[in-house]
Amino acid sequence: MSDIPNENTPEKFERLCVSKPADKAGGAGAVYHAMRHAIGKAGVARAKDALTKLNQKGGFDCPSCAWPDPDGHRSSFEFCENGAKAVASEATAERIDARFFAKHSVAELAERSDLWHDQQGRLTEPMVLREGGTHYEPISWEGAFDLIAGELGELADPNQAIFYTSGRASNEAAFLYQLFVRAFGTNNLPDCSNMCHESSGLALKQSIGVGKGTVTLEDLREAELILVIGQNPGTNHPRMLSTLQQAKEKGARIVSINPLREAGLVAFSHPQRVSQVLGGKTPLADTFVKIRTNGDQALFQAIGKRLLEMEQAGRSVLDCDFINDYTAGIGEYREALKRTPWPSLLDACGLEMATVNDLAEAFATKQRIISCWAMGLTQHRNAVATIRELTNLHLLRGAIGIKGAGMCPVRGHSNVQGDRTMGIFEHMPEWFYAALEKEFGIDCPRETGLNAVHSIRRMKEHPGSVFLALGGNFLSATPDTGYTAAALRNCRLTAHVSTKLNRSHLVTGKQALILPCLGRSERDEQANGAQWVSVENSMGIVHSSSGQLPPASPNLKSEVAIVCGIARRALRNRKGQIDWTGFETDYSKIRSAIERVIPGFEDYNQRARQPGGYYLPNAVKERRFETDTGKANFATSPLDIERAEPGRLLLMTIRSHDQFNTTVYGLDDRYRGIRGERRIVMVNPADMERLGLSTEDEVDVHSFFKGEERVTRLYRLIPYDIPVGCVAMYFPEANALVPIDHIAVGSETPASKSVQVEIRKR
Ligand SMILES: Nc1nc2c(c(=O)[nH]1)N[C@H]1C(S)=C(S)[C@@H](COP(=O)(O)OP(=O)(O)OC[C@H]3O[C@@H](n4cnc5c(=O)[nH]c(N)nc54)[C@H](O)[C@@H]3O)O[C@H]1N2
Ligand SMILES: Nc1nc2c(c(=O)[nH]1)N[C@H]1C(S)=C(S)[C@@H](COP(=O)(O)OP(=O)(O)OC[C@H]3O[C@@H](n4cnc5c(=O)[nH]c(N)nc54)[C@H](O)[C@@H]3O)O[C@H]1N2
Ligand SMILES: [Mo]
């Protein structure tokens, strides 16, 4: 048996069907697929209830991506096809209960595909896998909490426990969770952000003092130049396309920088505009820069070098007032770029001088510039350096902290940004610990905790850890699946707070727990009545979310109630005055505590409830740069590009149109024209010819890192428009190939977009 997703159930590629990639996103197809998923899974009534409350003021926040809702008017359908799929997956009418687990052993469930796991429906009652057991059995909530508290209590050192968080947890749940973890005595708080935008947070913090985006939706509409870099919004942030469409209609130029010509950036048909559902479309990207995978650092240096050359030649292209008043480090930056020769820059990004000149000219002539990016920049060894290079370009032009300009890291999980604000992080600043201690009378540990990669290493090297996860699918979302599986198997206990069955429930410690929770779409009734929660989106807006559907089972608990249940028992006899029961019965008490601990949450109970929520303060918007120098810092970084070694190819691991991270909704990567199969490798036809491979071949993919070799088996090749030397496969399957030690410098994010691989015919 294999731990690698979908490796046990390889299809015979009978359903694989390849067609031409689409030339636009949205339109009638998106409406059709949204409705088909929603009604097919949830039934007509539940689907209607769910979708009409989605992203409405007073309704619930979409559990899919973190793109913000419009500030003003909202249409009655404020969601996208993939948001509808996420809601349908949660609102499904299918259920998993004790009989299901009695029927299927853990080993048998592990043989099934990720798609099958999702299709089985919602988890409905707490389950335990006893030491040596073959099947999960029911357990009471009290029994489950006691088991966790008992195992935590047995640990010689609190740092032997690891507490993971995925980005769907509400602010309220996340705040209580980190409070519990710190009161227990550790900062081991890895989260999905470690695999996601960690590189962005670190780079921006070092460069401009705030590790978050600096723009609003209104800024995007005002921008003259919008770069969309390493991002596939047609699939992953579809509602961003309507904002880009509005910007475009006001005259903005849009540039897509990506090895792949993603359909959503070619053109967009707004599913809520009648003329566009009937076939009309708005072309989006004016320019497509087909960059070689991981060539971005070189491209941004090249643009910077050209801008400095223009200035030196007597053209006034830099914002010298801004540079003088607000920045530090321009001298070193200028010198470093002077020393970097043109041929090495062009060779590293695989682009022509004409392309660099064109982009430099665009920067030189516009100031309302916004750069948007996602995983195509963050998941590389040089990710932090690359994002800092991009920031340098904004600093040269003063394109930050003014209307229509700034940095826009487009966040993934719907509340991943809020969770970090709430303290889900392995090393918070001192003021945060001091504030927690003052509020709750606890002693906070100061020692830096473990992030995701270090947690895996720790569990692998030190048997006997306890692993608790608030959401997510740690096994499949983290790199090096074989290694991570061995790490989880080493634990005394692995416990997951989850809504749906996933592979992390099946690759377990000696004992395992499944703690089923309410989803975002469901009503949350506590002793004090109906509760609501709050979240922060990609643009720093905090707002409420109120579930509307009846819970999938009467035996579910909210995430808040589960955290309180565990904490009450695990912290018995410990120092501190934490009213877990009060928090559980009335979430407004949690928000009052947050208000006292974290700046920016004044009047939280009232302001989060106001329609549309409120913006958190962001110093950069007022051109205050709270960095080590007190100024925005130019960064100087040596060119450090990952290139495929001879005979090898550079692999990026990406999402299909039919998944949310590790949850697979279907097998239809519609916009790329790849249907019926996920075990595929997108390859440039010239590489296929060079390597003597054909589309009929069944292949294994091997990855290489510092003398280590990893493999995943039985794939088919698809000739695709991707730069020579680069290939793409789907995550999570391809995580088996991502070496645990192949990480971004500084942020330690797995470099899952640039892995050295070889393709071998079976
Ligand atoms: N429907 C749906 N929505 C989602 C998600 C989902 O799985 N499904 N996931 C959510 C989450 S958590 C996140 S973080 C976001 C992810 O959103 P994205 O970052 O859009 O997701 P990926 O599929 O990883 O796509 C990365 C893009 O980067 C490009 N790329 C790869 N390597 C490079 C490179 O070296 N340089 C450049 N310039 N481009 C490169 C790829 O071609 C691809 O277009 O989406 C969120 N929204
Ligand atoms: N190779 C490779 N690896 C990657 C990436 C990549 O691009 N390439 N992307 C990375 C990124 S950007 C991210 S963010 C991570 C994602 O990592 P995770 O956040 O760990 O993974 P998800 O697939 O989003 O988690 C899905 C599970 O969350 C549970 N769930 C869903 N909704 C809820 C809820 O409301 N509450 C609770 N408690 N549980 C819920 C369900 O049981 C579901 O099975 O993966 C990373 N891994
Ligand atoms: Mo993410």
CB of 428 closer than 6 angstroms to any ligand 2 atom: no
* pLDDT, averaged across the chain: 95
DSSP state of 68: P
pLDDT at 494: 98
pLDDT, tens digit, 9 for 90 and up, residues 189-209:
999 999 999 999 999 999 999
The pLDDT of residue 63 is 86
* Assigned CATH for 649-761: 2.40.40.20
411 Cα nearest atom in ligand 1: 14
pLDDT at residue 660 in the model = 96
243 lines ligand 2 (CB under 6 A): no
- For residue 78, the model assigns a pLDDT of 66
d(Cα 96, Cα 90) in Å, to the nearest integer? 13
**Ligand 2 touching residue 122 (CB < 6 A):** no
Confidence of residue 75 (pLDDT cuts 50, 70, 90): low
Report the separation in Å between the CA atom of 284 and the middle of ligand 3, taken as the mean of its atom positions.
24
Residue 748 has pLDDT above 80, yes or no: yes
Average pLDDT over residues 6-31: 85
Ligand 1 centroid distance, CA of 650 (Å)? 17
pLDDT for 73 equals 63
DSSP label of 644: P
Asked if residue 267 has pLDDT above 80, the reply is yes
Q: Which residues of 251-273 are buried (b: 16+ CB within 10 A; e: fewer)?
A: ebbbbbbbbbbbbbbbbbbbbee
Nearest residue by C-alpha to atom 46 in ligand 2: 477
Backbone angles phi, psi at 500, to 5 degrees: -130, 155
Nearest CA to ligand 1 atom 24: 654
Amino acid at 322: F
| Cα pseudo-dihedral 686, 354, 228, 624, rounded to 10 | 140
pLDDT tens for 320-361 read: 999 999 999 999 999 999 999 999 999 999 999 999 999 999
pLDDT at residue 273 is higher than 90: no
CB atoms within 10 A of CB 20: 7
- Alpha-carbon distance of 609 to 691, in angstroms, equals 59
Per-residue pLDDT, averaged over 263-269, amounts to 90
Number of H helices, E strands in the chain: 31, 34
CA of 237 to the centre of ligand 1 (A): 9
Provide the residue ranges of all domains of the chain, joining segments of one domain with +: 113-194+415-615, 198-414, 649-761
- The topology (CATH level 3) of 113-194+415-615 is Rossmann fold (3.40.50)
Q: What is the per-residue DSSP string for 428-472? A: --HHHHHHHHHHH------S----HHHHHHHHHHSS--EEEEESS
Report the C-alpha gap between 469 and 495 in whole angstroms.
Answer: 6
Query: If you take atom 44 of ligand 1, which residue's CA is the nearest one?
Result: 232
In this structure, the number of other CB atoms found within 10 A of the CB of residue 660 comes to 21
Q: Residues near ligand 1 with C-beta < 6 Å? A: 64-65, 82, 196, 229-232, 235-237, 257-260, 262, 291, 293-294, 296, 374-376, 412-413, 652, 654-655, 659-661, 753
pLDDT for 665-722, tens place per residue? 999 999 999 999 999 999 999 999 999 999 989 999 999 999 999 999 999 999 999 9
Residue 278 has pLDDT above 70, yes or no: no
Residue count of the chain: 762
170 CB less than 6 Å from ligand 2?
Answer: no
Closest-lying ligand 2 atom to the alpha carbon of residue 196: 12
Give how far the C-alpha of residue 470 lies from the chain's centroid of Cα atoms, to the nearest Å: 15
Identify the weakest region by mean pLDDT among 29-43, 276-290, 347-361.
29-43
Q: Is the CB of 471 under 6 A from ligand 2?
A: yes
Residue 32 banded pLDDT, cuts 50, 70, 90: confident
Span from the CA of 194 to the centroid of ligand 3 (angstroms)? 9
Q: How high is the pLDDT of residue 7?
A: 82
Q: Please, what is the end-to-end C-alpha distance for the chain in angstroms?
A: 19
Tens of pLDDT, residues 496-532: 999 999 999 999 999 999 999 999 999 999 999 999 9
Nearest CA to ligand 1 atom 22: 654
Average pLDDT over residues 281-297: 95
- Give the pLDDT band of residue 74 (cuts 50, 70, 90): low
Q: Give ion ligand 3 contacts, CB < 5 A.
A: 196, 412
Ligand 2 atom closest to the CA of 663, numbered from 1 = 23
* CATH number belonging to domain 198-414: 3.40.228.10
318: Cα within 13 Å, side-chain hemisphere: 24
The pLDDT assigned to 405 comes to 98
pLDDT of residue 372: 98
Which of 14-23, 121-130, 408-417 has the highest average model confidence (pLDDT)?
Answer: 121-130
- Ligand 2 atom 38: residue of nearest CA: 471
* Domains 113-194+415-615 and 649-761 alike in fold: no
pLDDT per residue over 389-411, tens digit each? 999 999 999 999 999 999 999 99
**Span from the CA of 275 to the centroid of ligand 3 (angstroms):** 34
Q: Calculate how far, in angstroms, residue 749's C-alpha sits from the geometric centre of ligand 1.
A: 14
* 452 ligand 2 Cβ < 6 A: no
Q: How far apart are CA 489 and CA 493, in angstroms?
A: 9
For 471-499, what is each residue's pLDDT tens digit?
A: 999 999 999 999 999 999 999 999 999 99
Cα(415)–Cα(662) distance, integer angstroms: 17
Mean pLDDT of 728-735: 98
pTM score, whole prediction: 0.97
